[in-house]
C-alpha cells in the first residue's frame, strides 16, 4: 500500500487516510468493516461509477447529480477527518 505523505510529515491522518484499506476490505466483502474504517469509500465509488455512466449515456441531469454526489462524499470525508482528529486526542 502507498504511504500517506501527509501523515508521515505532520503525524496526523489526512482526509483520505484509510481509503486504500477500506477499499480492500470492501473487495473482500467486509462491508461493515470498510464503512467503519473510512465511511466515504462507497459514496466515492458511486460518484466514479455514476460519472462513467453519465459520460456514456448522457443523463439529462447528470452533471447536477454528480455535483450533489461529490459534495455529499466530500462532506462525509470532512466529517470522518474531524471525527478521527477528535478521537486521536
Alpha carbons 39 and 89: distance in angstroms, whole number: 20
CA dihedral for 56, 62, 63, 67, sign (positive or negative): negative
Supply the pTM of this predicted model: 0.85
What is the tens place of the pLDDT at every residue in 16-50?
888 999 999 999 999 999 999 999 999 999 999 99
Local confidence band at 63 (pLDDT 50, 70, 90 cut-offs): very high
| Helix, strand, coil % in the chain, rounded to nearest 5 | 75, 0, 25
Amino acid at each position: 500500500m502507498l504511504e500517506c505523505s501527509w501523515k508521515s510529515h505532520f503525524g496526523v491522518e489526512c482526509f483520505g487516510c484509510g481509503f486504500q484499506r477500506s477499499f480492500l476490505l470492501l473487495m473482500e466483502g467486509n462491508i461493515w468493516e470498510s464503512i467503519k474504517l473510512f465511511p466515504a469509500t462507497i459514496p466515492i465509488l458511486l460518484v466514479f461509477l455514476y460519472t462513467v455512466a453519465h459520460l456514456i449515456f448522457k443523463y439529462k441531469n447528470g452533471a447536477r447529480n454528480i455535483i450533489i454526489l461529490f459534495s455529499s462524499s466530500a462532506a462525509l470525508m470532512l466529517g470522518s477527518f474531524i471525527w478521527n482528529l477528535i478521537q486521536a486526542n
